[in-house]
Structure 1
Amino acid sequence: MSFQDAHKTNALLARHEITAENLRSYTPEELARLLEVDGVITGTFETDKPMSDGASLALGLVVGFYGATNSGKTSINIYDGTSGELLWKYEKALSRSLGSDTNTIVTTIMRKASRKFPYSKM
């Protein structure tokens, strides 16, 4: 199994005038054909800071539990390039409290995703 270099992918997308704004108007099989690949991986990653560390600390002192100070969620999909069929899907949400940061959230979620990713060593 191999993955197309990101520079080549970006160049091919630019040549076809496909941008982040209009990407969703293409199906996975259309993208696979334009990119000359067997499959397409898509996904989203969102992070949020629902509460400051100070607010979480105050909440913990008042009610006995600390609120989430950082959270993130991801969705990763793999599609067959010929049929557009969804072959694999991974979704994960994670929240952490005091002492966490966005980098920790991103690293933890991606480490968990890499363990579930459907590939094999050749």
Structure 2
Amino acid sequence: MIRSGLFALLLLAATACSQRSYSTRELVPQALSQHKLVAILPFDVQLDKLHLEPIAYVGTDVSPEEVEKRRQRWEAKQQEQRKVVAYQLQQELLRQLVLRQTKHPYSVQFQNVAETNSRLERAGITYANLNDHSMAELKAALGVDAVLSGETSLFQPLPNGVAVALLMLTNVGVPQSEVLTNVTIHDCQSGELVWKFDHQQVGELSASPATLARVLVRNSARTFPYRR
């Protein structure tokens, strides 16, 4: 398994404490009551970080072509990081749900992540084209009643060292880091969105996918639809 690292790099020294808020909605309870097996998909991860490397070469003897190459390499690395975090969140969310299930049983079983990803691969469904497939196609590939998926957007206006330096030099605060996450459950039979949980964190970011997954499971526990 690829080691976690991205979230640790996104830690920001904020002048204020982290603030969290969340909301949840159960949209089609009758569909939820019919589910027996649920698959967890890799998260859709978006990263929004300022890239300072090209700026560092302005006015130097580095050619514009070389700056562009470095920018492209950075973007390729960002794409790979998105994918890494996507699968880490998928695995960690399953782990947190299973841990909670030992004390608070659910009415459904969660498909093993390795099984989910193997079935997706056999069906030709990749991380890149996952959103292009219908719920019927996912049902046929996975053999489940519902899919649990998530979207996470991470915004870091300035790298850690730059933010601290700016604060010290100018005494002007910088925009705080922000994580926006929503977790959804879709019914495979109808394709309907049947449950949604939204989570926002402003300030110091979660240190790892495991931390974010734990927060999501804990904060959604009272309204999670499969509680017995």
Contact 1:59 1:67 in 2 (8 A): no
Q: What SS is found at the alignment partner of 1:103? A: coil
Amino acid at match of 1:10: N
Superposition RMSD on alpha carbons, in Å?
2.7
Partner of residue 158, structure 2: 51
Partner of residue 220, structure 2: 116
CA distance, structure 1, for counterparts of residue 175 and residue 168 of structure 2: 7
Task: Give the share of equivalent positions with the same residue, in percent.
Answer: 28
Partner of residue 71, structure 2: none
CA distance, structure 2, for counterparts of residue 55 and residue 30 of structure 1: 46
Amino acid at match of 1:49: Q
Q: 1:90 aligns with which of 172, 193, 197?
A: 197
Contact 2:163 2:174 in 1 (8 A): yes
Q: Note closer, same or farther for the CA distance 1:85–1:21 as it changes in structure 2 (3 Å cut).
A: same
Q: 1:103 aligns with which of 197, 200, 207?
A: 207
Partner of residue 183, structure 2: 76
Contact 1:47 1:102 in 2 (8 A): no
Partner of residue 15, structure 1: 122
Partner of residue 36, structure 1: 143
Output the TM-score relative to the length of structure 2.
Answer: 0.43
Q: What SS is found at the alignment partner of 2:111? A: coil
Relative contact order higher in (CA < 8 Å, ≥ 6 apart): 2
Partner of residue 24, structure 1: 131
CA distance, structure 1, for counterparts of residue 115 and residue 130 of structure 2: 16
Q: Note closer, same or farther for the CA distance 1:111–1:7 as it changes in structure 2 (3 Å cut).
A: closer
Amino acid at match of 1:92: H
Q: What SS is found at the alignment partner of 1:47? A: strand
Provide structure 1 residue ranges, at least 5 long, that are not aligned to the other structure: none
Kindly name which structure, 1 or 2, has the bigger radius of gyration based on alpha carbons. 2
Q: Note closer, same or farther for the CA distance 1:110–1:11 as it changes in structure 2 (3 Å cut).
A: closer
CA distance, structure 2, for counterparts of residue 41 and residue 2 of structure 1: 12
Give 1:82 shift: 0.8
Count of aligned residue pairs for this structure pair: 116
Amino acid at match of 1:14: E
CA distance, structure 1, for counterparts of residue 208 and residue 216 of structure 2: 14
Contact 1:59 1:65 in 2 (8 A): yes
CA distance, structure 2, for counterparts of residue 35 and residue 3 of structure 1: 12
Contact 1:78 1:87 in 2 (8 A): yes
Provide structure 2 residue ranges, at least 5 long, that are not aligned to the other structure: 1-107
